[in-house]
Amino acid sequence: MQDIDVLGNKQKGLDFIKQTEQRKFAFSLVISYTATSEIPGITIAGEHPDLIKYTGPADAEFIHYGNCKSISVIPMTPDGKPTPALLTKTALEAGSIPSVVINAGSKVPPKLPFIDMGLEYGKNIANEPALGQEEVRKAVEYGRIIGRFLGASTECLVVGESVPGGTTTALGVLVAFGVKTLVSSSMPKNPIELKIRIIKEALKRLDSKDPFDVVAQLGDPMIPTMAGILSTASEVSKVMLAGGTQMAAVLCFAKKLGFEGKNTVVGTTSYIAEDKSANLLGAIEQVLDVPILVAKLKLGQSTIPGLRSYSEGFVKEGAGAGGASIACMLKTGINSEKLLSLTEKEYRRIT
């Protein structure tokens, strides 16, 4: 596939591509929330601090309906750069790929049918533990139940996330587990110093190497939920974790629970893979031998400034956009030029 690159274990990645071409795909979006996102300067998700809590539900609604029900606008950055859910929706529709929403501690439930994990949202890790340890265990256990069902219903399960501020909690988990990395950001100038300051504060509370304690102190509800889904879905199906560095945190926690990387790849956009302020490949290689599939999207060639901005360092990825694009290409054989023209059409419909 000329528009999909493989990073890491090339052979494993190429085998995955071969085994999933023209196969059945399903997509699930895990939406969650961390109050860490309320720290000024952490995230660009949402136009206004009061709207950050709507990021996950609005992404989920947009993918399903083509508009948002919880808020009256589509989730955009302050100057009108669209949510990556626009790319996800375009790819899923072009590939006729069914999707389901998993609510793993979103502060606001989406206005559509969803699988409810019954989890609390994550607290601000700068001030207090993100979750109770029991809540982390419940997220893993419930995730395993859902993963078994979703994996059995398809040949390749693509799992994406929408968690505003989630790169900060992911970095916290990776640092606590001893992985040397930086994480990506929705902004071109990554506020990495702010993230590190927050994490150093949170690490002062951590007095245990227990993986459940690490995620309880520094994580968010998406990480244990997705680790649970991955552990069982990968037993019966191929799995693509759709996202950037947050997936390194998921893999790291899953490994601590006994996951060995079977049947799994990470799927992301070239904008994350090429991000100089974060090293996704370096992070994942320290954790597991899991290849990264990279969607070479052509958004830089778009006539629309809001879409071109992705190639200029804004937003880069989210709502499973890279993985959904890869799934669409693998299932249908369409290339990224065609995906770009469909994305531009969708953008014009909503603006």
pLDDT digits (tens, 9 = 90+) for 91-140: 999 999 999 999 999 999 999 999 999 999 999 999 999 999 999 999 99
Q: Which residues contact 205 (CB under 8 A, 6 or more apart)?
A: 129, 217
Distance CA(146)–CA(95), nearest Å, equals 23
Q: Which segment of 16-25, 70-79, 235-244 scores lowest on mean pLDDT?
A: 70-79
Q: How confident is the model at residue 50 (pLDDT cuts 50, 70, 90)?
A: confident
Flag the least confident range among 209-218, 248-257, 295-304, 305-314: 305-314
**Token pair for 134:** 């029991």
Flag the least confident range among 69-83, 150-164, 179-193. 179-193
Torsion of CA 53, 55, 60, 63, to 10 degrees: 160
- The answer, yes or no, to whether residue 187 has pLDDT greater than 60, is no
> What confidence category does residue 11 fall into, taking pLDDT thresholds of 50, 70 and 90?
very high
Cβ density class 20-30: b for 16+ within 10 Å, e for less: beeeebbbbbb
Per-residue pLDDT at 186:
59
Query: What's the average model confidence in pLDDT over 218-239?
Result: 99
Single-letter amino acid, residue 292: I
Helical packing angle, 211-218 and 133-152, nearest 10°: 100
**What percentage of the chain exceeds 90 in pLDDT?**
80
Buried b (16+ CB within 10 A) or exposed e, 207-245: eeeebbbbbbbbbbbbbbbbbbbbbbbbebbbbbbbbbb
Does residue 162 surpass a pLDDT of 60?
A: yes
pLDDT at 183 over 90: no
Indicate the average pLDDT of the chain. 93
What angle in degrees, to the nearest 10, is found between the helix axes of 321-332 and 336-350?
130
- For the entire predicted model, the pTM comes to 0.95
Overall number of domains in the chain: 1
**pLDDT tier at 47, thresholds 50, 70, 90:** low
- pLDDT surpassing 90 at residue 74: no
Q: What is the pLDDT of residue 44?
A: 66
Indicate which CATH number applies to the domain containing 53. Answer: 3.40.50.10210
Residue 90 structural domain: 4-350
Residue 281's Cβ-side half-sphere holds a number of Cα atoms within 13 Å equal to 17
**65: which 2 tokens?**
């309906």
Q: How far apart are CA 67 and CA 48, in angstroms?
A: 19
